[in-house]
Every structure is written in structure tokens, then in C-alpha cells.
Amino acid sequence: MTVSRHSPDRGPSLGPALGPSQDIVTRFAPSPTGLLHLGHAHSALVSARLAEAAGGRFLLRLEDIDVGRCRPEFETAILEDLAWLGLSWPAPVWRQSARMAAYRAALDRLEAMGLLYPCFCTRKDIQAEIAASPSAPHGPDGPLYPGTCRALDPAERADRIAAGHPHALRLDVAAALARMPGPLLWHDRAAGEQTARPALFGDVVLARKDIPTSYHLAVTVDDAAQGVTLVTRGQDLFAATHVHRLLQALLDLPVPAYHHHGLLTDEAGRRLAKRDNARALRTLREAGASPAEARAMAGVPDGNPRTA
């Protein structure tokens, strides 16, 4: 198992930026949609070690907004597997499913600023619109939303909502950026100072049709509400931070530091996935691996405060 990285290796040092005086709070925020594998173990251990080395706190948060995909048995397995791995965290564990009122309050605030619009498009509508314009701009997740519903007139919007047409809420990113007095910065411990490019994903969905929030909104609101000062997560979520930085500015939230760690890959260089049960912590455990062996396989061996 290897840890891949897109940014230069700064080695095993924890770096001078962190110290107990800064009250480091890190977190691991899995979604209970499957069993944890070695990649999750890597993420959780990096996060816990960073907190430990700085005399700070490590939190666990269950990101269970997607009720259709989350399962109580995966939640139980997450808690058991992390404890087996040797991790501990303060109770109570935050569950995003219990935080809908906080997300609603954030949406209300953005709505009052005139920065949200209802989007009635189906996936098919969006695909058709994109197919019709060959130069559609792309973001990290593929083609950007073409903005169809941004231009709907208010009466039409009101009619559709009154008629009960399902809709998501999107952020009008251009309007949001126009309110910013200057560039938005954030700091990544590996990649250094970043200037946010929140338009990267286009007009992101902040409340889904089926769920009254979204990943971007919930994670930003909760990291602030839990006092997280160092967001630790995989490099696959690096680009999302550009959007989160804009949401922090719009919602007057504190700006944490970030540590986007390298991703664990298999022998063929592929990222580990939840469906890859061979690398599930549970499977390793049942096959007789010890927690210390699992920590080493996850790229965070004992006695080496590795923060890859």
C-alpha cells in the first residue's frame, strides 16, 4: 500500500506551524455508507496524530445526510473499527442528520442575501443542455451546471414551487463573488497559501432535491460549529475547499487551516474504494491482523508521527 501525493513531500516532520497554544482541533468525518477500509484508517490516523502531537483534540463526525445510502450497521462498524484501531474521541459523536436546523439557518441567510436560486432541472435536462453546447466549461467533477434556472423569472419560479415541482437550491457563485471585497485565501499545510477559486464547480447545489442540505454546506457549517481548526481530509477533496472558503466568507465563519493528505493506493496505483472489501478494516481484523499491523498497513506506523 502506498500513499500517493500531488504535492511535495515535506517528510515526517509535523512542521513548526502547529503547537499546543493554537488549540488544534482536527476531525475525521466518514459517511456511514460502507465499511471503513485502509484509506479511511489512514485519514483517521493522520487526523488523530496531528491533534495528539499538538496537544489538541481529535473529533469524529458522522456525515449521514444521505439517508438513502447511510445504514445504522455501517455506523456501528465505523465506531467499532476506529476503536479497534486504537482511536478515541469525545462524546457525543456529531451526526449531520441531527443538524438540519443549522443548515436551514445557513440557507436562510444566503437566501436573504439573494444568493440562492431554485433549480428544477433533472439530471437529464442538464445533460441535454450541456450536450447542446459543445464548449461547456468543465470543473473537477465534470461539466458545470449551465445555469438554466438562474435566468428563470421570479413569477415562473413561484408558480413552479407552488405547484410542488421538486427543486434544489443552488448558489449563484458570480453574485456571491461580486460581494467579496478581495481575494479569499486559505492555507494548506502541504500545498501552502492558496487563493480560492470558488467558481471551479460552478453554481453548486447547497440543498438537494431529496435532502435539505448538501456536502459543501453541511461540512462547512459543522467544521465551524465544532471549532475545527485544522481540517484533515484526502487530496480528493482539495478542490472542494475553494467552495468551502467562499461559504465561510458569506456566512462569517472562521477559516480553519487545511491538511489534505495523500491517498492510499493499491499495488496497481488505484485509489482504495468502499467496495474493495479485501482492504476493509473488518476483513483484516477477522483475518487476524493486529491493530498495530493495520496502522502500519494504513501508512501510519506506530512511533512515526507521519502526516502524509
Task: Please report how close the Cβ of residue 116 comes to ligand GLU at its closest, in angstroms.
Answer: 22
Q: Binding ligand GLU by CB under 6 A: which of 29, 77, 255, 281?
A: 29
Q: Are 15 and 50 in contact (CB under 8 A)?
A: no
Task: Please report how close the Cβ of residue 233 comes to ligand GLU at its closest, in angstroms.
Answer: 3
SS3 (DSSP) at 17: coil
Site track 59-78 with ligand GLU (rule: CB under 6 A), x = hit: ----x---------------
Q: Is residue 121 within the footprint of ligand GLU (CB under 6 A)? A: no
SS3 (DSSP) at 37: strand
Which residue stretch of 23-31, 84-92, 143-151, 262-270 sits at the interface with ligand GLU (rule: CB under 6 A)? 23-31
Residue among 97 and 148 whose Cβ is closer to ligand GLU: 97
Task: Please report how close the Cβ of residue 241 comes to ligand GLU at its closest, in angstroms.
Answer: 9
SS3 (DSSP) at 44: helix
Q: Are 42 and 300 in contact (CB under 8 A)?
A: yes
Task: Please report how close the Cβ of residue 61 comes to ligand GLU at its closest, in angstroms.
Answer: 8
Task: Please report how close the Cβ of residue 99 comes to ligand GLU at its closest, in angstroms.
Answer: 13
Q: Is 240 exposed, middle or buried (0-12, 13-18, 19+ CB in 10 A)?
A: buried
Residues, the chain: 308
| Positions in 220-239 near ligand GLU (CB under 6 A) | 233, 237
Task: Please report how close the Cβ of residue 29 comes to ligand GLU at its closest, in angstroms.
Answer: 4
CA-to-CA separations, 216 to 138, 213, 241, 263, in angstroms, rounded: 18, 8, 9, 20
Grid coordinates standing for 201? 464547480
SS3 (DSSP) at 62: strand
Residue among 31 and 307 whose Cβ is closer to ligand GLU: 31
Please give the span between the terminal C-alpha atoms of the chain, in angstroms, as a whole number.
Answer: 13
Rounded Cα–Cα distance for residues 178 and 305 (Å): 43
Q: Which residues are at the interface with ligand GLU (CB under 6 A)?
A: 29-31, 63, 219, 233, 237
